[in-house]
Structure 1
Amino acid sequence: MNRYMGLTSNADDQPLYVDTTAPLHILLDSAAYRIRAATQFLENLAMRDEQTIDPATLQDLAQLCCIPLRDGCDVMDVIARRLDAAPAGSTL
């Protein structure tokens, strides 16, 4: 695994990267923060009383949530690869 992995939510050039050698607890905190932020926003949107959102606005809001969710999933993928590569019984 390369040390730096481009986030898939980026444009084609991938200017943002994850340090795949960062401590696992830091990677987990980063992934959890992004996933939690997106899900909290979606929960708040779902609880709105007024359901008259313009379709274009709704599409923009969905895209806004996709970015941190993809980033969080990318970081979780790094964690999974690190755990899979760890020798059995190691504590990392």
Structure 2
Amino acid sequence: MDTSRPLELRLSGPPAPIDVGRLCALLDAAEPTVVVCEIGGLEPAGLAGVDALARLRLTARRRGHRLVFTGAGPELREMLDLFGLGELL
């Protein structure tokens, strides 16, 4: 895993399925590395945001990336805890 230069992603609003697909394709194409994903734009939290984070996490894990989410607000943290995904933060 190359940790010298992390891959940086940003979710700056409610994600459309095409956006999530594009980000997952980017993770699929990259060599295993640390991936830092800014998710502050997902507030207010919704199911689309939770689904997007879960899909990104699964893709990252499958490709050997270490995924780190940053910038989550209290509402999104609570939503992720509710769905058993609190460990993503």
Shorter-chain TM-score: what band?
A: 0.3 to 0.5
Larger Rg: 1
TM-score, normalised relative to structure 2: 0.34
- Name the one with the larger strand percent: 2
**Hey, which of these two has a bigger chunk of helix by percent?**
1
